[in-house]
Structure 1
Amino acid sequence: MSRNSSSPVDIQIGKTMRDRRLAIGLTQAELGAAIGVTFQQVQKYERGANRVAASKLLQVATALDCSVSDLYDDPDPAGHSPSERAMLRLWSQLKVPERDAVIAMLRQFVAR
């Protein structure tokens, strides 16, 4: 691989890092400080220009409050999309009465 080429995996990880960082309201400088690099290095990671070392990837995941596999945006073995996986994670945190209320709400949307 030439020095200026980025692999699709590096680009995907960088994009996911950026999306997650923005979603939780961190600046590149804040993420950089949390993982021990400059904001310029975070920019390179986010563009996929530099690969994130495995040990650094774990630090990134911790700083972004997600798992390393979330950064890879791995496809779910059951075929769930990222939004479906997010819904399943949230669903598992609901109590039975809350689940019943969500089901009732969804039934109303579908009935329209």
Structure 2
Amino acid sequence: MKHPVDVHVGKRVRHRRWMLGMTQQQLAEKVGIKFQQIQKYETGMNRISASRLWDIADAMDVNIGFFFEGVDGEEAAETMMEHAGGDIMADREAIELVRSYNAIPEEQRKRLFDLARVLSA
């Protein structure tokens, strides 16, 4: 049986990998494992050991805490996502939008964010 924390951490690995535009194969090569193992981690089928999570975080240039963000309020977040139409970060278009947004220089990004906030109101 999958543990909810393993599933959450696996989703965060997948989201970070997508945000970086990295394939499972590329991540696996950086970590020194087979891509099938990355697949199992991302679905929560296999638990990620502490040392392996350390290697994954290093390969994706992120703090280990990133993988646990939101785990405390997971049930509430899942309920909100269901009402909002699902997991937005599972949408490839949303991932591409985030990548593009992060590539914009900071001052322009702030203005774009302000514009988006006004348009969505």
1:25 aligns with 2:21: yes
Q: Tell me which structure has the larger Cα radius of gyration.
A: 1
- Superposed, 1:1-112 pairs within 5 Å as 5-74=1-70, 102=110, 106=114, 109=118
TM-score where L is the length of structure 1: 0.64
Q: Following TM superposition, by how much is the alpha carbon of 1:7 offset from its aligned partner in structure 2, in angstroms?
A: 0.4
Q: Following TM superposition, by how much is the alpha carbon of 1:74 offset from its aligned partner in structure 2, in angstroms?
A: 4.4
Q: Following TM superposition, by how much is the alpha carbon of 1:75 offset from its aligned partner in structure 2, in angstroms?
A: 6.2
Deviations 1:44-72 (A, max 9, x none): 00000000010010111111111111011
Runs of 4+ in 1 over 6 A off after TM superposition: none
Q: Which 5+ residue runs of structure 1 have no aligned equivalent?
A: 77-93
The amino acid that maps onto 1:36 is G
Change (3 A) 1:30 1:66: same
Q: Following TM superposition, by how much is the alpha carbon of 1:30 offset from its aligned partner in structure 2, in angstroms?
A: 0.5
More helix by share: 2
CA RMSD between the two structures? 3.1
CA distance in 2, matches of 1:33, 1:75: 28
Q: Following TM superposition, by how much is the alpha carbon of 1:73 offset from its aligned partner in structure 2, in angstroms?
A: 1.5
CA distance in 1, matches of 2:35, 2:69: 23
Identity of aligned residues (%): 38
CA distance in 1, matches of 2:52, 2:58: 10
TM-score where L is the length of structure 2: 0.59
CA distance in 1, matches of 2:61, 2:54: 10
Q: Which 5+ residue runs of structure 2 have no aligned equivalent?
A: 73-105
